[in-house]
Amino acid sequence: MTPPEIRQVIIDILERIAPDEDLSNLDDAVSFREQMELDSMDFLDIVMELRKQYRVQIPESDYEHLGSMNSTVEYLTPLLKDA
């Protein structure tokens, strides 16, 4: 997968987890939590969706890499390169 494809996957997951959020103005450099009403359970839902859809194992110690769209895409690019 390319970075733009990974970004779209994350957008799709966010739309399912937070259907009332307007993602059209999402700033990729700003943390998700600053822009959206996400709690820790929503964050875990993102991780679980990635695991379910793409069999990506994300250790809890790496959760810090999933704070913003830019960091999430950067983290997932090598993991999903063959997806």
Task: Give pLDDT, residue 83.
Answer: 83
Residue 31: φ, ψ to 5°: -60, 145
β partners of residue 62: none
| Alpha-helical segments (H) within the chain | 3-17, 32-35, 40-54, 69-79
Confidence of residue 70 (pLDDT cuts 50, 70, 90): very high
CATH numbers and ranges of domains, the chain: 3-79 (1.10.1200.10)
What number of other Cβ atoms are within 10 A of residue 28's Cβ? Answer: 13
Q: What is the mean pLDDT of residues 68-79?
A: 97
6-60 tens-digit pLDDT: 999 999 999 999 999 999 999 999 999 899 988 889 999 999 999 999 999 999 9
Task: Give pLDDT, residue 61.
Answer: 96
Task: Give pLDDT, residue 53.
Answer: 94
